[in-house]
């Protein structure tokens, strides 16, 4: 059995074994990759590296699906969006928070026109 068929069987086994819908599995997979890379790399979730890993993992997953099925599947777009949505939102929120912490706005330093 070639690696692509093996990957397809693994994905099928995970879906069948959990009983969770494909949508939920993509959401969980995106967050799992994000947190795994954060822990292994030691990088903050506010850096682009954990998020980039989510995008790369999902890209690889969809390429494997494409090769395994011989065509793009009807749910490819929704799979990508479900996988990257929350990791992307978390990254954006943490970047905004980091920027506010690094550059706080102090009312006493703002000039007032008299």
72-111: per-residue pLDDT in tens?
989 999 999 999 999 999 999 999 999 999 888 876 655 5
Question: pLDDT band at 7, cuts 50/70/90?
Answer: confident
CB distance 74 to 22 below 8 Å: no
* Whole-Å CA distances, 93 to 62, 69, 77, 86: 27, 36, 24, 10
pLDDT digits (tens, 9 = 90+) for 8-54: 888 888 888 888 888 999 999 999 999 999 999 999 999 999 999 99
Provide the pLDDT for residue 1: 75
Provide the pLDDT for residue 84: 98
Q: Pick from 55, 63, 65: which is nearest to 30 by CA?
A: 55
Length of the chain: 114
Higher pLDDT, 41 or 112: 41
Specify the pTM. Answer: 0.83
Q: SS3 for 59-94, per residue?
A: HHHHHHHHHHHCCCCCCHHHHHHHHHHHHHHHHHHH
Burial class (CB in 10 A: 0-12, 13-18, 19+), 19: exposed
């Amino acid at each position: 059995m070639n690696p692509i068929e093996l990957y397809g069987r693994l994905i099928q086994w995970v879906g069948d074994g959990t009983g969770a819908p494909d949508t939920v599995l993509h959401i969980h997979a995106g967050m799992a990759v994000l947190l795994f890379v954060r822990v292994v790399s030691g990088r903050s979730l506010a850096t682009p590296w954990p998020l980039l890993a989510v995008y790369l993992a999902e890209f690889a997953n969809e390429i494997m699906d494409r090769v395994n099925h011989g065509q793009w599947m009807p749910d490819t777009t929704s799979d990508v969006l479900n996988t990257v949505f929350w990791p992307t939102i978390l990254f954006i929120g943490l970047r905004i928070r980091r920027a506010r912490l690094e550059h706080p706005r102090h009312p006493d330093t703002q000039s007032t026109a008299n």
